[in-house]
C-alpha cells in the first residue's frame, strides 16, 4: 500500500485515512485460566463484541507453542494532535504509544462487558499493535509496461478479509490475459477489464462495512438474531465471492 510504482501508473494516488483504527493483539490461551468463568467462552467459539462506535472479534488461532487468543478491534483512536494518521503508517508490536495504550484501556473499561475487557487486557504490550485504516481505488491499474496488483492496485479496508484472495485473483487474471493476448497492449487491456471494476467494488464493500461496524453503528442491543442477520445481509448487498470473483479449482 506504499507502492512507489503506483505513482508512475496513477500520479497522485495515495491511500486516505478512514477516520478510525484497528487495534490487534494475541496472547497465550493458557492465560484464560486465570479469568475463571470457563463456560463464558467455549473453546470453539468466535465472539463479536459490539459497542457504539465499533466492534471487536475474538477467536483462537494456532501458535508456535500451543493455542493463542487473537482479537481485532475497530474504533476511533484518541483525538490528539500527537497522532499523525494522514500518511500511511502503523504502530507495530512493541511500538504502541502510551497515548494509544491508554486509549485502548479506557475504551475497554467504558464499553466492554467485564469478562471481555479483562480478556483483552491479558495481551502484553509487545503483542499489541495498531493499524490505522486506509483505502484507495485507482482510476487504472496499467500504464505503459507497468501493471499494479494486490494492495498497490486497490487498498481495501480489512473488513472484507479479502487481501490475500484479491492478490491471488490479480495474479490469476494476469496469467489468463497473458495466455490469451497477442500483444502487450492486449494483455494490459484484458487485465484492466478483469480487475479494475473488481477492485473498485471491493473498496465500496469495505467502506459500507466500515460505516456499518464503526462509523454509523446500529443499536446493537435492540436487534434480535433475525434482525441482526437481515441487517448484515443488507450491508453485504449481495456481494459475490471473496476478493471480487470466484476462483474455479484447477482441473
The 3-state DSSP class for residue 26 equals strand
151 contacts 229 by C-beta, under 8 angstroms: no
Rounded to whole angstroms, the Cα distance separating 181 from 185 reads 8
Residue 91's pLDDT is: 78
Residue 240's pLDDT is: 62
233 contacts 204 by C-beta, under 8 angstroms: no
- Name residues of the chain where pLDDT drops below 70: 38, 80-82, 86-87, 240-251
Residue 89's pLDDT is: 72
Query: What kind of architecture, by CATH, is found in domain 6-12+139-244?
Result: 3-Layer(bba) Sandwich (3.50)
Question: For the purposes of burial, counting CB atoms within 10 Å of the CB of 121, is it exposed (0-12), middle (13-18) or buried (19 or more)?
Answer: middle
138 contacts 9 by C-beta, under 8 angstroms: yes
Residue 140's pLDDT is: 87
Residues of the chain with CATH 3.30.9.60: 18-134
Exposure string over 42-73, b if 16+ CB within 10 A, otherwise e: eeeeeeebbbeebbbebbbeeeeeeebbbbbb
Residue 246's pLDDT is: 59
Residues of the chain with CATH 3.50.50.60: 6-12+139-244
Rounded to whole angstroms, the Cα distance separating 106 from 109 reads 5
Rounded to whole angstroms, the Cα distance separating 126 from 170 reads 34
Query: What kind of architecture, by CATH, is found in domain 18-134?
Result: 2-Layer Sandwich (3.30)
Nearest to 1 by CA among 159, 9, 13: 13
Provide φ and ψ at 215, rounded to 5°.
-75, -35
Residue 123's pLDDT is: 94
Exposure string over 155-192, b if 16+ CB within 10 A, otherwise e: bbbbbbebbebbbebbebbbeebeeeeeeeeebbebbb
Rounded to whole angstroms, the Cα distance separating 193 from 142 reads 10
Instruction: Specify the length of the chain in residues.
Output: 251
pTM: 0.86
Rounded to whole angstroms, the Cα distance separating 68 from 121 reads 14
Residue 42's pLDDT is: 87
Amino acid at each position: 500500500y506504499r507502492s512507489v510504482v503506483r505513482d508512475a501508473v496513477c500520479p497522485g494516488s495515495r491511500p486516505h485515512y478512514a477516520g478510525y483504527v484497528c487495534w490487534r493483539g494475541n496472547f497465550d490461551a493458557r492465560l484464560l485460566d486465570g479469568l475463571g468463568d470457563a463456560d463464558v467462552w467455549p473453546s470453539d467459539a468466535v465472539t463479536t463484541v459490539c459497542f457504539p462506535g465499533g466492534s471487536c472479534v475474538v477467536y483462537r488461532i494456532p501458535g508456535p507453542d500451543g493455542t493463542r487468543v487473537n482479537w481485532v478491534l475497530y474504533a476511533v483512536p484518541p483525538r490528539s494532535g500527537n497522532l499523525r494518521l494522514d500518511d500511511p503508517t502503523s504502530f507495530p508490536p512493541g511500538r504502541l504509544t502510551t497515548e494509544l495504550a491508554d486509549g485502548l484501556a479506557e475504551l475497554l473499561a467504558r464499553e466492554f462487558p467485564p469478562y471481555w475487557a479483562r480478556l483483552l487486557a491479558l495481551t502484553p504490550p509487545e503483542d499489541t499493535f495498531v493499524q490505522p485504516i486506509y483505502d484507495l481505488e485507482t482510476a487504472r491499474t496499467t500504464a505503459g509496461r507497468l501493471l499494479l496488483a494486490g494492495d498497490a492496485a486497490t487498498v481495501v479496508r480489512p473488513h472484507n478479509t479479502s487481501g490475500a484472495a484479491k492478490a491471488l485473483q490479480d495474479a490469476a487474471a494476469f496469467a489468463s490475459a497473458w495466455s490469451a493476448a497477442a500483444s502487450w497492449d492486449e494483455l494490459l487491456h484484458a487485465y484492466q477489464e478483469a480487475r479494475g471494476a473488481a477492485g473498485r467494488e471491493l473498496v465500496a464493500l469495505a467502506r459500507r462495512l466500515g460505516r456499518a461496524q464503526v462509523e454509523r453503528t446500529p443499536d446493537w442491543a435492540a436487534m434480535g438474531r433475525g434482525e441482526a442477520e437481515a441487517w448484515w445481509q443488507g450491508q453485504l448487498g449481495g456481494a459475490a465471492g471473496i476478493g471480487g470473483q470466484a476462483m474455479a479449482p484447477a482441473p
